[in-house]
């Protein structure tokens, strides 16, 4: 699906499916990616609160801020390709290809070169 870590191909190399079906198509990618980050931050915060409550000493907040900040910056970059794949799957499942899109995909599909074995 990808030509590099952050660059999605225009079409599926096998079936010819056009990933970006309309303008602004991947706005949902941001929602999926935000969900990954939000879940990670809530889990980190929960672990920190459990640790702080279990500790008999006073706990510094700086490690929590550092880990949370790094998570908020690094995790979206690491999960971006997966968010794009998930969003493409959600969109295709909820809005199947219409006949024109199917014909367009068939025109761009790669023929099966291996054949039966």
Query: What is the reported pLDDT for 113?
Result: 53
Query: What is the reported pLDDT for 5?
Result: 76
Query: What is the reported pLDDT for 114?
Result: 55
How many Cβ atoms from other residues are within 10 Å of residue 43's Cβ?
11
Cα–Cα distance for residue pair 7/29, rounded to 1 Å: 13
Q: What is the pTM of this model?
A: 0.73
Which regions in the chain score pLDDT beneath 50? Answer: none
Rounded to a whole number of angstroms, the CA Rg of the chain reads 21
Instruction: Reduce the DSSP state of residue 76 to 3 states and report it.
Output: helix
Cα–Cα distance for residue pair 33/76, rounded to 1 Å: 6
Answer yes or no: are the C-beta atoms of 106 and 16 closer than 8 Å: yes
Element (H, E) at 7: none
Query: What is the reported pLDDT for 55?
Result: 87
């Amino acid at each position: 699906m990808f030509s590099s870590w952050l660059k999605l191909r225009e079409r599926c190399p096998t079936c010819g499916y056009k990933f970006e079906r309309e303008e602004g198509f991947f706005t949902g990618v941001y929602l999926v990616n935000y969900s990954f980050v939000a879940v990670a931050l809530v889990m980190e915060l929960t672990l920190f609160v459990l640790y702080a409550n279990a500790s008999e000493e006073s706990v510094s907040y700086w490690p929590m801020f550092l880990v949370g900040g790094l998570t908020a910056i690094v995790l979206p970059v690491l999960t971006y390709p997966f968010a794009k794949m998930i969003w493409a799957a959600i969109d295709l499942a909820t809005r199947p290809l219409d006949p024109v899109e199917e014909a367009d995909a068939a025109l761009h599909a790669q023929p099966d070169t291996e054949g039966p074995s």
